[in-house]
Amino acid sequence: MGNNLEALTTIFTEFYYWVTVVMMFLIHVGFCMYEVGASRRRNHMHTLMKNTMLIPLVTITFFFFGWWIYWAFPHGPWIDGGKGLDFAAGAANAPWADTMGTNLGDHITGVFWAAFLLFSWTAASIVSGSVIERIRSGAFWILAVLIGSVAWIIDAAWGWHWDGWMVHILGYHDAYASGVIHAIAGGFALGVLVVLGPRLGKFAADGTPRDIPPHNPWLVTIGLFLIYTGFWGFYAACNVPIISPEVIDGQITGVTWTATNIYLAPTTLSAITFNFLMSLSGGLLMGYMVSKGDSFWTYSGGLAGIITASAGNDLYHPIQAMIIGGVGTFCAYKLHFWVERKFKIDDAVGAVAVHGYAGFIGVCIAGFVLWGVPSSPYEGYAAINPLGQFLGAIIMFGVLGFLPGYVCARILNGVGLLRVPKDIELLGLDIKGDEDYQRAVNDVRDAEKAILNG
């Protein structure tokens, strides 16, 4: 750090990302609460552990190779101008680099890595909810590593990096991750669900879907509220908080410092605060309306509203964000039940709809509303356009989401690792733990009564 202003900027940036990481932890708390709330009593512990243990597994694998992928893969490799892997950028972010540890010359890598890591948890956690009550933990944790430390971070390198080939060639714009987190995770979940199949009893003999209500709707809604709260950290983490035009080194002239999105194009925290709240409101109003006041879908509608508007929430007007949030929520809700009926897909928490369909639609809408807006502050980048956004949405949802999820689930299914046996599903995945618990309770009761009776 050359002078005190530079030092202050660096420490501010370090602290800024650190705070976003703490806030984003609440997303995971929320996911755990709403999954447990949505599951039935005989599956609680399995559901909780399934989601909790993705934390260490995705964390260590993201340290070992996920972070390196982000820096090495922005050009494809070999998609953008024949450029291969970026070994130079990757080297500073490989697990053996001296910047990947205590380093007084680098205050940023650790907190930036952690902010991305929390996105990785979110991607895996989105999948977790849709597959509850029948997937084997071992299978899910392999899938979690695949989406959390490989698939999503490739899409981030491609479409959520200032030098990503999708930004350069397609003009792809997805500032708050409608596609790069939500569409990919929703597509991945759908790929797994196609192979995994529905929970026993979900569909009647004639194919009519049955509602499997959450055992605790209050826990579900509080969980979703916590996800909203953590989402503030997610949004802030998508920005670079302060940067000078000289450091951006693009086309911006003058000396005015600014906050930017991940593509280093200017925005403000104020802009995303307006748009976060207005798209949340558009989603909640539409969710309440379309579901006729169902609490789960009203809350999910709020989330879908934010997710739909996220691609362009750095630039939208707040009323545009509100309307886009409402449109995405309507489509996600209708698509969820249509896909359920038509293809017999049992998405236990509506994750494919709320994240996948809303994210896909949001990326596409941004192509029209932001048509012609520069995607990058650098010269030679395509402007934002509908075709680039549509192709981007397909890459996120289909190529990097659905496909790896489907293929990996097929392999796991082929070796008998994907789904618990039918008898276990009926007994409940917690059967052993529940019996041990009851035995312990009975032992203690008997002991205390014996003491009471002398």
Based on CB atoms, which residue is closest to other proteins, 187 or 374?
374
Supply the angle between the helices 44-52 and 109-130 in degrees, to the nearest 10. Answer: 150
User: Which two tokens mark 424?
Assistant: 């276990």
CB of 335 to other proteins, least distance (A): 22
User: Which two tokens mark 65?
Assistant: 């190779």
- DSSP per residue, 38-66: HS-GGGHHHHHHHHHTHHHHHHHHIIIII
How many whole angstroms separate alpha carbon 340 and alpha carbon 385? 32
Residues 6+ apart with CB under 8 A from 219: 33, 34, 36, 37
CB of 364 to other proteins, least distance (A): 15
CB of 377 to other proteins, least distance (A): 4
CB of 168 to other proteins, least distance (A): 15
CB of 265 to other proteins, least distance (A): 6
CB of 10 to other proteins, least distance (A): 21
- Residues 242-281, one symbol each (x = binds other proteins by CB under 8 A, - = not), give ---x----xxxxxxx-x------xx---------------
Based on CB atoms, which residue is closest to other proteins, 175 or 181?
175
Instruction: Select the span of 172-180, 202-210, 367-375, 422-430 touching other proteins (CB under 8 A).
Output: 367-375
Distances (CA, A) of 73 to 57, 150, 161, 400: 22, 11, 10, 14
- Residues 192-221, one symbol each (x = binds other proteins by CB under 8 A, - = not), give ------------------------------
- 394 neighbors 361 (Cβ within 8 angstroms): no
Q: Is 373 in the site for other proteins (CB under 8 A)?
A: yes
Based on CB atoms, which residue is closest to other proteins, 23 or 322?
322
Q: Is 289 in the site for other proteins (CB under 8 A)?
A: yes
CB of 281 to other proteins, least distance (A): 10
User: Which two tokens mark 18?
Assistant: 């650190």
Alpha helices for 39-151 (secondary structure H): 44-52, 54-61, 67-72, 87-91, 109-130, 137-146
CB of 378 to other proteins, least distance (A): 8
Instruction: Select the span of 34-42, 203-211, 370-378, 432-440 touching other proteins (CB under 8 A).
Output: 370-378
User: Which two tokens mark 425?
Assistant: 């599903």
Q: List the one residue from 147, 370, 394, 420 that touches other proteins (CB under 8 A).
A: 370
Q: List the one residue from 359, 377, 401, 428 that touches other proteins (CB under 8 A).
A: 377
CB of 299 to other proteins, least distance (A): 17
CB of 98 to other proteins, least distance (A): 34
Q: How many degrees, rounded to 5, is the angle at CA 329 between CA 391 and CA 26?
A: 95
Rounded to a whole number of angstroms, the distance between the first and last alpha carbons of the chain is 74
Is there a cis peptide before residue 56, judged by omega within 30 degrees of 0? no
Q: Is 372 in the site for other proteins (CB under 8 A)?
A: yes
Based on CB atoms, which residue is closest to other proteins, 315 or 412?
315
Residues 6+ apart with CB under 8 A from 8: none
- 303 to 342, contacts with other proteins by CB under 8 A? 315-317, 319-320, 322-323, 326
Based on CB atoms, which residue is closest to other proteins, 15 or 368?
368
- 199 neighbors 134 (Cβ within 8 angstroms): yes
User: Which two tokens mark 437?
Assistant: 């618990």
Size of the site for other proteins (CB under 8 A): 34
Q: List the one residue from 39, 125, 376, 389 that touches other proteins (CB under 8 A).
A: 376
How do 240-243 and 258-260 pair as beta strands?
antiparallel
How many whole angstroms separate alpha carbon 408 and alpha carbon 188? 10
Q: List the one residue from 156, 192, 262, 369 that touches other proteins (CB under 8 A).
A: 369
Residues lying near other proteins in the complex (CB under 8 A): 245, 250-256, 258, 265-266, 285, 288-289, 292-293, 315-317, 319-320, 322-323, 326, 369-374, 376-377, 379, 383
